[in-house]
A = this chain, B = another copy of it.
Amino acid sequence: MTRTREADRAAVEAANTAFYEAMEQGDFDTVTDLWLDDGATEISCVHPGWPVLTGRGDVLRSYALIMANTDYIQFFLTDVEISLTTDVAVVTCTENILSGGPPEDGAELGPLVGQLVVATNVFRRTSEGWKVWSHHGSPVIPETDPDDPGDTPGRPTD
């Protein structure tokens, strides 16, 4: 039982990692494959600052759009936490994002931009592995006191 649970945790973490690697590689087919498609359970997605997208059509179109406008993106995942029941897992993580748009003035890459985003990803077990049921990413708004890196606004404890 414990071994199964550990295997489940490892499989969920692998699915979560694969999800971000597919984004890094601009691999739309893998992103499409990783999103739940059981014909019954509606998926939902919130990109940072966006409204909610519901259903495979809108969700996958959003990824196609983001990929078309991103020349370079890398996710350094930290604080990955997995909360697991039998068939559903809630994963939270911090996405330390480095991304760039089209190059300017003959440079190889466009200007790189760093971004701090936190995500809640819900995975569902299927016969073909764990699939993304819901993704919600949001910007972490920087603390008001730049001299105290631990002082995130409104954060209750540190």
Residues of chain A touching chain B, judged by Cβ–Cβ distance below 8 Å, are 41-44, 46-54, 58, 61-62, 64-66, 79, 81, 83-85, 87-88, 90, 92-94, 118, 120, 122, 124, 133-134, 136-141, 152-157
A92: chain B residues at CB < 8 Å are: 44, 46, 52, 54, 134
User: How far apart sit A78 and B79, CA to CA, in the bound complex (Å)?
Assistant: 32
Name 6 A/B residue pairs within 8 A (Cβ), A-sorted: A44-B120, A49-B139, A49-B141, A51-B152, A51-B155, A85-B87
Looking at A43, A87, A88, the one whose CB has the most chain B CB atoms below 10 A away is A88
A136: chain B residues at CB < 8 Å are: 46, 120, 136, 138
- Identify which of B58, B87, B122 contacts A157 (C-beta below 8 A): B58
- Identify which of B79, B88, B138 contacts A88 (C-beta below 8 A): B88
User: How far apart sit A110 and B130, CA to CA, in the bound complex (Å)?
Assistant: 48
- Identify which of B52, B58, B118, B154 contacts A79 (C-beta below 8 A): B52
Looking at A122, A133, A152, the one whose CB has the most chain B CB atoms below 10 A away is A122
User: How far apart sit A68 and B93, CA to CA, in the bound complex (Å)?
Assistant: 28
Q: Is the CB of A50 within 8 A of B85?
A: no
Q: Is the CB of B140 within 8 A of A51?
A: yes
Q: Is the CB of B65 within 8 A of A154?
A: yes
